[in-house]
Amino acid sequence: MSAPRRAPPAVRDTPVLMPARSPRWRRQSVMAVFALLGLGLMARAVFLQVFDHDFYRGQGDARQQRTVAIPAHRGMLLDRHGEPLAISTPIQTLWGNPQGLVEQPGALREVAAILALDPQELQDSVDSAARRGREFMYIKRHVTPLLAERVMSLRVADLAVQREYRRYYPSGAAASHLIGFTDIDDRGREGLELAYDEWLAGVPGKRRILRDLSGREIAGMDILVDAVPGRDLRLSIDRQLQYFAERALLDAVAEHRAESASVVVMDIASGEVLAMSNLPGYNPNDTADRSGGRQRNRAVTDVFEPGSTMKPFTIAAALTSGQYTADDIVFTSPGRYRIGKYVISDARDNGWLDLRAIVTKSSNVGVSKIATTLEPEQMWDVFDRFGFGRPPGSEFPGEVAGYFNHPSAWHHVEQASVSYGYGISVSVLQLVHAYAAIANDGLMPAVSFLATEEAEPARRVIGAGVADELQDMLEGVVVDGTGGRAAVPGYRVAGKTGTSHRSQSGGYADDRYVSVFAGFAPVSDPRYAMAVVIHDPKAGEHFGSQVAAPVFAEVMSHALRLGGVAPDDIDERLRTVASPAKVPARVGSDRL
């Protein structure tokens, strides 16, 4: 009877395995745990898909996409006539992902063979880059497009090319100091390349690319920012004149076994530097050639004691002071002048000299006697106006101001020594700039390394009358004074020689000299000023009149010829006066 109430015997036999009734809370809690797990998964999915979407998308792209730079073309440097002085030419750079390359030793050997690299070295550098976890390394920078194509035709995975630019200087060493050079990334490092880097450089762009598993570019995606090419820059330099200046210096340095030399030619009206050459030089196309002092633009960054080439400025101060006229005479006998314990001496006893003769015969005694009668402030002011002790404002990197004390710091002999160019240091650029002011009737132009359409207004430094008298005295130096070898046939030339002892620690060297010549031409209507400085000539001759003046004559003759300047000192028989009506309106050269 009670059978229906009983459980079946099978059930009864297994009461431990399956209890007829488990507690309710147990089932429910298991359900809840599973539900929570499911919810957790769903929430995670939602977070991944919705909230973290951008992050993971970005991560994915980062593994496939790359943003690569589009290099910008650097502007050319041109000479004043538009001839190229520096050109950037496209070139390829090979780079790779060491993580992938490390597993392809065979391919690396082939690449090394084409690029003429040492295969073992290449393998080693790839290995070490891979060990350090790098994903980028240069295989070889700056290879010719042809070579790059040969390498790429091997179709090595994880190897890519990138376009870059290499700077090329067609004039070689001729204008190297002035132009300077760029580094391997085509950024200006020296000279005008550095000074005008921002103008020349342009702005690199950005491009996004898609890559496949082996790192090859499959499709260009889009240009994010296009590259803006740099702008060209026209310099004041005349390439031909630069060549002549360089060659004349090379000859002079070889002939006199000199240590270094500089020459600067300037247009006196516009202040444009037409040629600037220094020795020793370097070839800017050869990175190995840029060592030590070879790359310094000495004409702008180095100073020297100008010696007698300062005398015209002392005379300018004397004439400006109103205490002297050009005809005043000074007693220079016996060729020695004692100031305290210092003795200033001349090469010979010149007796009575007028101001003109003091300049043409280059009398230290005469000019010192004049200087010591001048107000120190007034003399300083005239020198200061000529730019001594001030940077010339050329924007050239590293230009120097020279060294010229204010009178408050002068000791008693300094006023005399400055008058003939000791105790004052100038750069060649400052010297030529000051002579340009004399040649330009007392108006000092602003120095420029760029071709100028309209010159900045010149600054008056001395009266036109004083400048005129100085021009006449300086012509006398060449006609019947110490500067005879600076004469250029057919032209009236003016200038001043200078020879100074080189200063060294503890005083002046007895047997080491600086030979200087500074001047301008043609005197009837001056066009070009020029200074030549030759350091430490060791072949016997050392006077400015012997060493520097012939270089001046050589370079100036080319400047006048290239500039189409009419000779102003020729035989009557060589001249024909033509009626303007019968001659075409434009005759002659446009050069310079």
Active-site residue list: 308
The length of the chain is 592
Least spacing, CB of residue 220 vs another protein, in Å: 6
Determine which residue in the list 52, 83, 289, 328 makes contact with another protein, applying CB under 8 A.
83
> 232: which DSSP letter?
P
Give the residue among 308, 310, 319, 424 at the shortest CA–CA distance from 362: 308
- 525 lines the binding site for another protein (CB under 8 A): yes
- 575 lines the binding site for another protein (CB under 8 A): yes
CB 182 within 8 A of CB 195: no
Edge to edge, the sheet with strand 260-267 lists 273-279, 260-267, 528-535, 507-521, 494-504
Tokens of 257: 């076994």
C-beta of 94 vs 318, nearer to another protein? 94
- 212 lines the binding site for another protein (CB under 8 A): no
- 410 lines the binding site for another protein (CB under 8 A): no
Least spacing, CB of residue 68 vs another protein, in Å: 13
Q: Which residue has the tokens 């340009």?
A: 436
Q: Taking CB under 8 A as the rule, which mask of x and - marks residues 469-508 in contact with another protein?
A: --------------------xx-x----------------
Least spacing, CB of residue 468 vs another protein, in Å: 13
Residues 544-563 that bind another protein (CB under 8 A): 561
C-beta of 240 vs 499, nearer to another protein? 240
C-beta of 395 vs 568, nearer to another protein? 568
Amino acid at 455: A
- 569 lines the binding site for another protein (CB under 8 A): yes
Question: Which region among 38-46, 166-174, 184-192, 378-386 touches another protein (by CB under 8 A)?
Answer: 166-174
- 587 lines the binding site for another protein (CB under 8 A): yes
CB 84 within 8 A of CB 237: no
- 168 lines the binding site for another protein (CB under 8 A): yes
Q: Which residue has the tokens 């001046």?
A: 552
- 322 lines the binding site for another protein (CB under 8 A): no
Residue 448 CB partners (closer than 8 Å, separation 6+): 236, 270, 271, 272, 273, 394, 455, 456
Least spacing, CB of residue 532 vs another protein, in Å: 20
- 524 lines the binding site for another protein (CB under 8 A): yes
- Specify the pairing of strand 233-234 against strand 77-78: parallel
- 247 lines the binding site for another protein (CB under 8 A): yes
DSSP 100-126: HHTT-HHHHHHHHHHHT--HHHHHHHH
Q: Which residue has the tokens 């998308």?
A: 57
CB 261 within 8 A of CB 253: yes
Instruction: Report the alpha-carbon distance of residue 28 to residue 51 in Å, rounded.
Output: 32
CB 186 within 8 A of CB 165: yes
- 244 lines the binding site for another protein (CB under 8 A): yes
- 219 lines the binding site for another protein (CB under 8 A): yes
C-beta of 157 vs 566, nearer to another protein? 566
Question: Which region among 42-50, 345-353, 371-379, 568-576 touches another protein (by CB under 8 A)?
Answer: 568-576
Q: Say how far residue 579 (Cα) sits from the centre of its chain.
A: 49
CB 337 within 8 A of CB 365: yes
Determine which residue in the list 77, 88, 164, 302 makes contact with another protein, applying CB under 8 A.
88
With b for 16 or more beta-carbon neighbours within 10 A and e for fewer, the 152-174 pattern comes to: beeebbbbbbeebbbbebebebb
C-beta of 17 vs 581, nearer to another protein? 581
- 82 lines the binding site for another protein (CB under 8 A): no
Instruction: Report the alpha-carbon distance of residue 327 to residue 517 in Å, rounded.
Output: 25
Question: Which region among 25-33, 126-134, 336-344, 574-582 touches another protein (by CB under 8 A)?
Answer: 574-582
Determine which residue in the list 40, 58, 105, 170 makes contact with another protein, applying CB under 8 A.
170
Residues of the shown chain interacting with another protein in the complex, contacts defined by CB under 8 A: 73, 83-84, 87-90, 145, 163, 168, 170-171, 219-220, 239-240, 243-244, 247, 489-490, 492, 524-525, 561, 566-570, 574-580, 583, 587
